[in-house]
Amino acid sequence: MSWQRTAAIAGKELKQLTRDFGTLFLLVLFPMVLTLVFGLSFGGMGGGGEAKYEIAIVNQDPGADGRWVDYFLANLTGTGLFEIELYEDNESAQVDLQQGRIKGIVVIPDGFGASCQSYQQATQDPSSWVNATVQLYLDSGSMVASQTIPSVMDQVLAIVLLGRTPAQPVLPVSLGSPSLVEGEEFSTFDYFVPGLFAYGAIFLIMTVGQSFTVEREQGLLRRIRTTPTSPFELMSGHAISNMVKAVIQVGVIFAMAFLIGYRPNGGPSAIAMAFGIVVLFSLCCVGFGLITATLAKSSNSATGISFLFLLPQMFLGTFVGSILTPTMQQVARFVPAWYVTDSLTTLFIRGAPVTSSSVMFDVAVILAWSVLTFAAGIVLFERYGKD
């Protein structure tokens, strides 16, 4: 193998990155803009602050014992999750809910205070309690709000009735306080960043597919085949240039995320490992790109065919994967990008060391995928795609 030929191929590919705006946009500017938009939208700026939900309170309890309503509202505000606005009636609140101006409505019923008071006076005698039902209406257009608000409301009602430290029965087995692996608070953006690295890299599938089909259409591949350059040297040149592109992408995404407040939960070794993982994954993308070029009859069709490989990676293996159903989360384990996102999540969110078994397992799976797809890409393209 001649390194001179391999380097020459890699060099001309990298020149294309700097001179062809379409390639530059897809591989560098697009991930940069994506990171910026995600960072600003999901809490990159200002670190791990939590989202606040605007909710309407409709108080229908004119009872004399108004302190229970005040206590309930104080506890709601105290969660730090809600911005509360008082409404005169349920109808006007419903209008705002339908317009998406608020995420939920809490209707405090007539008798709420009396109900709370009855419980306090006879906690062990349910027959003496005055029953009341707090109505909750949620924004069905907000998946996060509809999942988060009911459970928080349950907790707030329990605090109102039982107090902050309700008496616990004495038992021989107790549940310790749940804590995260690292006691840091993360924003939604922090959870998205590992997937963004994989998201940027998967577009290499499209650019590699297009590059080979364009060179085939223009007779450049045939021309190179009249030189002593071997297929392996040609493919290696492409692989190296795409690894360099992946490094640039990771660097751009990381720098942009850092600028807007992202701080990974890992040191330099974790960051270096992240670069290595994405570089390894880029080899897999080159393989998929070669298979795309084998299937595509023209550079135009290469773009469409590349989505066969790109979309599963995008929806199952990147930040999108965090909102998948449990079944699809299992299916996602069949796409290599999932292991990229998982390993980077382990490094940057869970704070695991680079040598942890989880990271090593993910790297081994990515390596296997990369070797297999790259080899399959070369064999298929040489056999069916070069002419």
Question: Residue 323 contacts by C-beta under 8 Å, 6 or more apart in sequence?
Answer: 143
At its nearest, how many Å lie between other proteins and the CB of residue 3? 11
Number of chain positions touching other proteins (CB under 8 A): 24
CA pseudo-torsion sign 49, 54, 60, 66: positive
Q: Is position 1 an interface residue for other proteins (rule: CB under 8 A)?
A: no
Token duo for residue 44? 């990159």
Binding mask 16-55 for other proteins (x = CB under 8 A): x--xx-----------------------------------
Name residues whose C-beta falls within 8 Å of residue 83's C-beta, 6 or more positions apart in sequence: 52, 53, 54, 55
* 64: exposed, middle or buried (Cβ count in 10 Å: 0-12, 13-18, 19+): exposed
Q: In terms of CB distance, is 127 or 226 closer to other proteins? A: 226
Whose Cβ is closer to other proteins: residue 2's or residue 123's? 2
Q: How far is CA 108 from the centre of its chain?
A: 37
**3-class secondary structure, 104:** strand
Q: Choose between 222 and 297: whose C-beta lies nearer to other proteins.
A: 222
DSSP designation for 319: G
Calpha distance 72→93 (Å, rounded) = 19
Q: Mark the segment that binds other proteins (CB under 8 A) among 8-16, 152-160, 310-318, 321-329.
A: 8-16
Q: Smallest distance, Å, CB 204 to other proteins?
A: 18
Distance CA(81)–CA(96), nearest Å, equals 19
Q: Which two tokens stand for residue 25?
A: 């946009």
Considering the complex, state which of residue 178 and residue 219 has its C-beta at the smaller distance from other proteins.
Answer: 219
Both tokens of residue 335? 């796409």
Phi, psi of 14 (to 5 degrees): -70, -30
Amino acid at residue number 71? Y
What minimum distance in Å lies between the beta carbon of 242 and other proteins? 17
How buried is 8 (Cβ within 10 angstroms: 0-12 exposed, 13-18 middle, 19+ buried)?
A: middle
Burial class (CB in 10 A: 0-12, 13-18, 19+), 45: middle
3-state helix, strand, coil in the chain (%, to 5): 65, 5, 30
- In the bound complex, what is the minimum distance in angstroms from residue 322's beta carbon to other proteins? 38
| Residue closer to other proteins (CB basis): 226 or 357 | 226
Of the two residues 149 and 206, which places its CB atom closer to other proteins in the complex? 206
Q: DSSP for 193-212, please give it.
A: HHHHHHHHHHTHHHHHHHHH
| Nearer CB in complex with other proteins: 99/226 | 226
Of 67, 46, 60, residue with least CA distance to 106 = 60
Q: Tell which residue, 205, 199, 210, has the closest CA to residue 16.
A: 210
Other beta carbons within 10 angstroms of residue 162's beta carbon come to 13
- As measured in angstroms, the least distance from the Cβ of 386 to other proteins is 10
Least distance in Å: CB of 309 to other proteins? 25
Instruction: Considering only the stretches 1-9, 57-65, 296-304, 365-373, report the one whose residues sit in contact with other proteins under the rule CB under 8 A.
Output: 1-9
Q: From the CB of 291, what's the least distance to other proteins, in Å?
A: 23
Report, in Å, the least distance between residue 5 CB and other proteins: 5
Question: What residues from 213 to 272 belong to the interface with other proteins (CB under 8 A)?
Answer: 218-220, 222-230
Stretch binding other proteins (CB under 8 A), from 4-12, 50-58, 63-71, 74-82: 4-12
Answer yes or no whether residue 4 interacts with other proteins by CB under 8 A.
yes
333 touches other proteins by CB under 8 A: no
Residue whose CB is less far from other proteins, 224 or 365: 224
The minimum distance between CB 32 and other proteins, in angstroms, equals 21
Q: Identify which range of 11-19, 25-33, 45-53, 242-250 contacts other proteins by CB under 8 A.
A: 11-19
Q: 19 vs 164, which CB is nearer to other proteins?
A: 19
- Chain positions contacting other proteins, by CB under 8 A: 2, 4-5, 7-9, 11-12, 15-16, 19-20, 218-220, 222-230
